[in-house]
Structure formats: C-alpha cells, structure tokens
Structure 1
C-alpha cells in the first residue's frame, strides 16, 4: 500500500522518480481503508530533504500510512520557504486534541546548546508529554533522542572531542526483539553529531533497555515503555549523499572537519560513498510500523492512552 501525503508536497515527484508508490490526500479519500496516522515533528533545517528521506522509508510496507507534518510555533524556520511551511505543516495547537498511531521526532542543529537554552524547549517538552498519552509509539531521532532521554529519564549528554561523523558498524543486544526482525548480526548506520549519551547512564535506569550499540559510535538504540518509545542516536533515514553534502558544506565554509569515516570508497572524497545502510533502514522503519504501531494501536484511534 502507498503512503498518503499532502497534495503537491515536493517529495512526491522525487519518490515517484524512484518508483516509490505515493498517494496524495485527494486519491486516498476514495479508499475505504483505516490508515495508520503518523505525525512527523520535523526539527531539521532543510525540511524538504528530511520529508523525502522519511517518506521514502515509511512507504516501504503493505500498510497505508497517512502523514501530518508538525512545526514549532515558537520557532521560525530559516532554511525552508514560509509558503511551504504554511501549506504543509500544522502547529501543535491544531492537533493537540487528536491522537496518532505513531510519531517521529527528528534531530535538530542545536546539540551544542543546553537543552533548556533551546528557544522552543518549553513547547517541545509539552509535545513530548502529550505524545505519551496521544501516540501509540514515538520514534526519537538523534538530538530528539537525547532530548527525550534527558526530559523523561534525566540522562545527560556529553560533548565529543571530535564529531561522530561517518557510517559505523552496530551489533544487536536483543536480536529477538521484533524491531530487529530480518536484521543481520551486524549492520551499518550513518551518524553525524557532536554529542553523545553514555552507556553507564542508560543502564542505571531500569526503565531503559539498550537494544543496539557500536564499538565506535556508542549507544545506538534505546527502548522504553515496551516499545512505546524508541531513542535512536544515528540517522538510518539519511540518503546516500547526505554525509557528502555535510562534508562539502563544511569544507566550503573553511571549517575544520574530518572525512566521514567508513563512507567514501577507499576513504577518498573524490569517490562515491559505499552505501550499506539502506537495507537496515528499510527494515527498521517497516518493523517499527508493523510490530510497534500497527499491531499495538487500537482499531479506534481515540482509545489510545
């Protein structure tokens, strides 16, 4: 089944070019199917790119998925046209009385700030609390994972001596967890961050379970509340060229930046990247939608609590 997204969203044409079946809202209204409703709180600066990356993965299941995009009322995006934000994004006040089968909260370029210094922190934490009673399962990515762990479980973040930047090998701590159905024993994930959470802080909280780690990149996936919350420190959703774009951007700015590790063929930025995380990424989002959203959410969405 396709993913149902707003009419005229820019991602549509790109995904159709990739032979991904997407359906706009007008056509979806003609189908008598109870779709999964997913809300994406997009905190990334280049929002159209993030929309496309996430929709690409959410569309790869037999389930029909209906997506709403959420923005922060207390923060104005500087990198996405206002017309796009007005047309495709909702504010929290417009959805706070509704319920969703699933939610994704993206990373944000604010990791060097203390959480409470982020100008939309108050609004964000209100959304975090709301999600616990209005969403069946919430997927926190990168900075959002650190923010959620800090807010709910008092887990600190730590500034790294150098950026965690590249594609790293990960292992499974609980291979029988349904989120890993179909995974190999090791798999790869892109990371791009200046801060980290530490294993010892996580294991001190009995409510938290570390599902996956990397010898180089550290804690990758943490689960809470029997899968109603997942905290993911990497970027499985990244397109093949995302790390390259980040690297070339920083080089052009004259910033001190190391090559993304284990990314370019022969570690040569003149060569294309070795893409080896897409299979894992598709399985990750498919398993989340199937086992922790579709199979856990009540048929009557209003019964979520």
Structure 2
C-alpha cells in the first residue's frame, strides 16, 4: 500500500522494515487519484508506539492514504517530547476546518475519571460533534469509544469487578457486516480495560457486531452517526499487553497475568500475536467501505450526512 506520512517519522522505518510501502510526496503527486484523507487523534501517552500500530493497519490497503496525526490542544505531554509533537502532529485547532474521509480516535489511560472531569473533555465534545460535519466515518477505540457512546447516545458505563486483561475469544454477532468481512467466527482479541458498557442503555441506533458474554460488548456500528466503536484493541502488537503487565508489576500494583497471552503462563516466552490478521481485516474493511461511500470531492463530506 502507499501510505503517506512524514519522511522522518519513526514509524516510517518500522513500516518499511515490515515490507509496507511508504510513499513520499513527489511520487504521490504523480498518481492521478485522490488519496483518502485519514486522521488519527492520538490520546495515548506513548504517541510513537500508538501511531505505529495504527499506521501499520492503515498501510495494509492498496489505496493511497494520507495519514494526519492529530493531538488535543493540551499544555504538554509527560511521555512525548514537545519537539516531537510539534514536528509530526497537528493540534486540533489546526485541522478543525479540514475534512477527512476517515478519522480514528484512540483510547486514553483515564478510565477512572468521569468524562466531565477529563481536562480536555470540552475539546473532546467539540471534536466528536465536528466528526458529524467534517468526517465521513469515524472509528472510536477503547476510551474514545466509551466517550463517544456516552456523548452521542447516553450509553452508561460500569466499573467491572476485575480488570479485563488479556487475549479473549469473541463471537461475531453479524458476519454480514461490511466491517467484518473475512473474519473467523470466534476471533481472539486483546483487551485491557476496567469498564464495560451497560447493555440496557444501548438504543436501537446501535448494532452489536462483536461480543463476549463474560467481559462485554467488543464492537458496535452506528449508522446514524457514521461511526464504529471498538472497545478493545486489535491494533495492539504482540508486546502491548506484556509491557503493560511488566510496567504495573514494576510499579508494585500486583497485576494479574494477562489471560491467554503467554504460552502456559510462562512470562519468559515471547508472546505470539494471534489477532494480527483480524486487525488487518477490520481496518482494510473499514477503509474499503469509506472508499466505496465517501464523496469524491472532500468539500462535500458532511453535507446531507455524507
């Protein structure tokens, strides 16, 4: 695939080493097509790792994609150097007048806070409303999904007795959904969250696509707001859960071992990635649906629900 990202973005070398095609601006300009405009609002502390995970999935399509990295207008980041953010990211105010074919909103490690107490919640509300006028289709992930479900539909979330942490087998509820084409009936999906959503608060506009009876809804579709909500993490690499476990262990938090991650529970063995194909399928299907339905002219996005 041709994905266009900044030449010196660290994710570029990672993608090239994995055999994915990364395009420079000169080559992109020679192709007589309109590249899809995809934005990534990255709310995670480790920006570099998260952007690489999503760029890897967006890059696995034969379509030309321009990926724009976006961050909230925040006074600073404790985990990412300001120079890095200024070099590779646009602040929300810098893209609010643009239109995007697709937009991804990541999770954020703020599960314990009520939404209204999140310091950038007013800006998040602006961004979520903006997706209805400036974005053709939005993919909300983890906390981003919970926030959007709360904002658009008043969906309630609840604190689980124990953190859902590991790789869990899920059930495909609607195999005919265009977002789930090619998926197996019971995919293994990484999960790391303290909260579930209250099924009783789901309205008729929301369709459950992937489910797990023990740890809750995994993914929903929303035709009214042209959105998909993925509460778990098909974008994760094989070390994501392992590194989270060892980080919490080092912090003295006594975390439970991630379910179904280490072979026979042996933490000395490198975890296998058993969800990679489903992550690629989900994002290829999402981008294909965007390509099939988005207006040719970017200026027409958001008009009459386009």
**For this structure pair, what is the TM-score category when the shorter chain's length is used for normalisation?**
over 0.9
- The equivalent of 1:209 in structure 2 is 207
Post-superposition CA distance 1:18-56 (Å, at most 9, x none): 111112335423433210000100000000000100010
- The equivalent of 1:150 in structure 2 is 150
The whole-number CA distance in structure 2 between the counterparts of 1:5 and 1:189 is 28
Post-superposition CA distance 1:213-263 (Å, at most 9, x none): 013321001111268200110010000111110011111111120000011
* TM alignment of 1:10-159, pairs within 5 A: 10-159=10-159
- The equivalent of 1:303 in structure 2 is 300
- The equivalent of 2:287 in structure 1 is 289
Deviation at 1:274, TM superposition (A): 3.1
Paired residues, number: 302
Say if 2:276 is the partner of 1:278. Answer: yes
User: Does the residue aligned with 1:32 lie in a helix, a strand or coil?
Assistant: coil
The whole-number CA distance in structure 2 between the counterparts of 1:136 and 1:57 is 19
Post-superposition CA distance 1:156-184 (Å, at most 9, x none): 11112211100011111111111111111
Post-superposition CA distance 1:180-229 (Å, at most 9, x none): 11111110110111111122222xx1111111101332100111126820
User: Does the residue aligned with 2:208 lie in a helix, a strand or coil?
Assistant: strand
The whole-number CA distance in structure 1 between the counterparts of 2:19 and 2:139 is 26
Gapped runs of 5+ residues in structure 2?
none
Q: What is the TM-score normalised by the length of structure 2?
A: 0.96
The whole-number CA distance in structure 1 between the counterparts of 2:25 and 2:7 is 6
The whole-number CA distance in structure 1 between the counterparts of 2:127 and 2:224 is 20
> RMSD across aligned C-alpha pairs, in angstroms?
1.3
Whether the 8 Å contact between 1:75 and 1:119 is mirrored in structure 2 is no
The whole-number CA distance in structure 1 between the counterparts of 2:123 and 2:7 is 28
Whether the 8 Å contact between 1:7 and 1:26 is mirrored in structure 2 is no
The equivalent position to 2:229 in structure 1, one of 214, 228, 231, is: 231
Whether the 8 Å contact between 1:236 and 1:280 is mirrored in structure 2 is yes
Gapped runs of 5+ residues in structure 1?
none
Whether the 8 Å contact between 2:6 and 2:88 is mirrored in structure 1 is yes
The whole-number CA distance in structure 2 between the counterparts of 1:133 and 1:55 is 24
User: Does the residue aligned with 1:66 lie in a helix, a strand or coil?
Assistant: strand
Whether the 8 Å contact between 1:131 and 1:138 is mirrored in structure 2 is yes
The whole-number CA distance in structure 1 between the counterparts of 2:162 and 2:26 is 47
Bigger shift: residues 74-83 or 141-150: 74-83
- The equivalent of 2:249 in structure 1 is 251
Whether the 8 Å contact between 2:154 and 2:201 is mirrored in structure 1 is no
